[in-house]
Amino acid sequence: MEIYKIEATENTPLVDLNHNNHTMLFEGDSRPENVQQFYSPVLKWLEDYSKHIYFLKDLNNSSIDVLCNFKFEYFNSSSAKYIRDVITALASVESGVNLKINWHYEEMDEDMQEAGEEFEEMMGIKFNFIVE
């Protein structure tokens, strides 16, 4: 398994997925021209990570802390579907994993705050809301 990292562009977020320290970061704007093409490798990595965690958990015989930070400045409706898929993939990671999702937003950005709250409610996963 390899670390997956894509630098941010004007239309796509920074994506940094690290299986070694169990951290994930999505940061910036998400409005790729082809949203499926952009997010498909991310979802594939998360699928592989879930298998990786399963074996690690058995080897360590202890829980593993997994941290995911969402620091979006903007995302379009097409990206929202894939962000939901990312959260679903995170939620499906084996039990014995302590999943922590941080949803960052600017103090004055009520839309981004509400988007995080909607994902939290829709997915049934507790988010930590962090005001920047």
DSSP 95: T
**Residue-level pLDDT, tens digit, the chain, 132 residues:** 899 999 999 999 999 999 999 999 999 999 999 999 999 999 999 999 988 887 776 566 677 899 999 999 999 999 999 999 999 999 887 667 899 999 999 999 999 999 999 999 999 999 999 999
Prediction pTM value: 0.94
Give the Cα separation of 56 and 102 in Å (integer). 23
DSSP 43: H
Query: Could you give the number of structural domains in the chain?
Result: 1
DSSP 124: T
Q: For residue 100, what are the domain limits?
A: 4-131
Q: Which residue has the tokens 């499906």?
A: 92
Give the Cα separation of 93 and 89 in Å (integer). 7
